[in-house]
Amino acid sequence: MRYFHAALAGLLLVSPPASGQQAPVAPDTNAMSIPRWHVGLAAGAGQPVGDFKRHVKNAAGAMGHVLLRLDKYGLASLRLQGGWLNYGHEGQRTCLGTAPHCRVALNMTTANGILSLALGPQVAMPLGRVRAYGYGLLGMSRFATVSGIDGGLVPDIVAADENFGDGGMIWSGGVGLQVPVRRSTSIDLGVGYESHGKRDYLIKGGLTDLPDGSLGFDIKRSKADLFTFRIGLTTTIGWGRRASPAP
C-alpha cells in the first residue's frame, strides 16, 4: 500500500492541468527595466587650437551632463552638458578693509574661465559590454574673469565678482566610450571639440590695479576653439524606468 501511494503521488505531480485551467507562466527573462535618465560628472582638460592657442596654452576644470534616453535600447538620447574650464588663474595677498594697518590679511584669486551649457542629440552603439557614443550640441558660453576670496581654479562664489566677460553661442561635438564597472555605473572616457566663435577675453596678468584705484584690462580677441578631454563616471537615475524587451 505504501508503494501504491507513492506512485499515485508521482502521477499527480506530472499530470497535465485539468481542462479550463492554465499552467503557471514562467517569467519573461527577456524583459528588463530600462533607466531613462543618466547623469555624469567628469574631470576635463582643454587644448586650445588656432588663434586661441597663441594666448592660452591649456585649460582644466569639470564637466557634467544629464542624458534622457529616447528609445527602449538607449541608442538615441537627448544630452544636456555643462562645464567650467579654467585657462589661467593668479593669486595675491590683500587686506580686508581700508585702515592704514592691515588687521585681516587674506588671499584673493583671479580666475579666467569658460562657462558653457549646451543641448543636443546623442547616438550610441553597443560594442559588447562597452558602449560607444557620439553627440552634437548647441548652446551658450561665457568667457569670464572672476576675482574672489581664497579658492583655486574657481574662486569662492560667496565673495566674488566678475571683472570682465563676453558671452555668445557655442557648438560642440564629441565621441566617447562607456565601460561598465557596476550594473548602473560606467567609466566615461571622451574627447570633444568646442567652437565659441570670436570672443573678447583676458588671460593671466590681463587684469591690473591702477594707481587711481581703477582696473586696467589687456583684452585679447580671437576665434576661441579647443579640444576637450574628459574622464569621469556616468550612473543611472531611477526616474521613468520602464520594462522593455532586451535587444
Q: Where are the domains of the chain?
A: 33-89+112-142+165-238
Q: Counting beta carbons within 10 angstroms of the beta carbon of residue 229, is it exposed (0 to 12), middle (13 to 18) or buried (19 or more)?
A: middle
DSSP 75: S
Look at residues 112, 91, 109 and name the one whose alpha carbon lies nearest to residue 48. 112
- Give me the pLDDT at residue 212, please: 84
For residue 36, which amino acid is it? R
List phi, psi (to 5°) of 26. Answer: -70, 145
- Give me the pLDDT at residue 175, please: 98
Give the pairing of strands 76-95 and 105-127. antiparallel
Residue 208 region by backbone torsions, left for phi larger than 0, else alpha for psi between -120 and 50, else beta:
beta
- Under 8 Å between Cβ of 37 and 236: yes
CATH of domain 33-89+112-142+165-238: 2.40.160.20
- Under 8 Å between Cβ of 122 and 77: yes
Q: Cβ of 230: how many Cβ atoms within 10 Å? A: 25
DSSP 191: E
Could you give the 3-state DSSP secondary structure of residue 123? strand
Segments in the chain below pLDDT 70: 1-34, 93, 95-101, 103-105, 150-159, 239-247
Take residue 228 and report the three cell numbers written for it. Answer: 576637450
Look at residues 130, 110, 107, 120 and name the one whose alpha carbon lies nearest to residue 186. 130
Q: What is the pLDDT of residues 167-208, one digit of tens each?
A: 999 999 999 999 999 888 999 999 999 999 999 999 988 888
For residue 92, which amino acid is it? Q
Model pTM score: 0.76
Take residue 206 and report the three cell numbers written for it. Answer: 590681463
Beta strands in 57-159 (DSSP E): 59-69, 76-95, 105-127, 130-149
Q: Cβ of 162: how many Cβ atoms within 10 Å? A: 11
How many angstroms separate the CA atoms of 123 and 213, rounded? Answer: 53
How many angstroms separate the CA atoms of 90 and 140, rounded? Answer: 26
